Amino acid sequence: MTDTDLKIDPQRAAALVSQIKTVRERIAAVANGRDVRLVAVSKLKPANDILALLQQASPPQLHFGENYAQELSQKAELLPRSIQWHFIGGLQSGHCKSLAKIPNLFSVSSIDTEKKAQLLDRYRGEYLSSLSSSSSSTTITSPSSPLPGKINIHIQVNTSGEPSKSGCAPGAATLSLCRTVAALPNLHLLGLMTIGAIARSVATTPETENEDFLCLREQRDLVAAELGLAPEELELSMGMSEDYEGAIVAGSSEVRVGSTLFGARGPKSEAKIKV
């Protein structure tokens, strides 16, 4: 299957392009010249929508986020390798092998245990070794399909302390996991991520402070000091459809926007990879 098998509905594409233009303008309005990565959260949305934003948005939208490992793997097989995939869902140990084999996997943003980090590192190393030893890797090393490398990692921090939320506890647990990831050869510690309390997100505006964002920034600064880095060398991934403008004002390097771009999602049982 290739992207040529996907049909793009002109009206749907026009709506998506208009919506992403608006989101980009709102990001630029509060970013004060900083380069803030927009991750279009495409979970449960068809590959046709992703292809429309890749081909028709200006500039092309390259970064897309998925919550389910199987859905991400299927879409990665179907869509062009120029897409930069982000796995942003709850990571299970059993997902690590399949995710590590996605060549254009840009990041995993939900690492919260050493075991998951070590498994992802192990499987990525095995995958890269298999590529380097393959005699049929000409397409892999072509300019349009570069050789895969390390996977970027955001450590997920449970800044709100909610039992239902994944993530490391702030403090010693976060510092320890960051040290582990920084030492693994096939992973790159990109920064920290949080999904804060819903009530705080809803109340967040560019003029108000969000306790989850402040906590993540403090944790980032502690980790940077521990690793001998400048704070700016570690990203903050925080902010979604409800609160991304406030997150950017608070220093976020990356925002994850889904429903504002793609519209409301239906039940997972009704989702289709392509339409």
Residue 74's domain spans which residues? 3-132+147-262
275 has a pLDDT exceeding 70:
yes
**Per-residue pLDDT reduced to its tens digit, 102-119:** 999 999 999 999 999 999
Domain membership of residue 141 (yes or no) is: no
- Asked whether the beta carbons of 59 and 82 are under 8 A apart, the reply is no
Q: How many whole angstroms separate alpha carbon 211 and alpha carbon 74?
A: 37
**Per-residue pLDDT reduced to its tens digit, 6-49:** 999 999 999 999 999 999 999 999 999 999 999 999 999 999 99
**Total structural domains within the chain:** 1
Domain membership of residue 40 (yes or no) is: yes
Degrees, nearest 5: CA angle 189-195-196: 130
Residue found under tokens 């996907």: 6
Domain membership of residue 271 (yes or no) is: no
Helix, strand, coil abundance in the chain, percent, nearest 5: 45, 15, 40
Domain membership of residue 268 (yes or no) is: no
CATH of the domain at 90: 3.20.20.10
Domain membership of residue 8 (yes or no) is: yes
Domain membership of residue 234 (yes or no) is: yes
Domain membership of residue 269 (yes or no) is: no
**Per-residue pLDDT reduced to its tens digit, 120-174:** 999 999 999 998 877 454 444 444 455 689 999 999 999 999 988 899 999 999 9
Domain membership of residue 97 (yes or no) is: yes
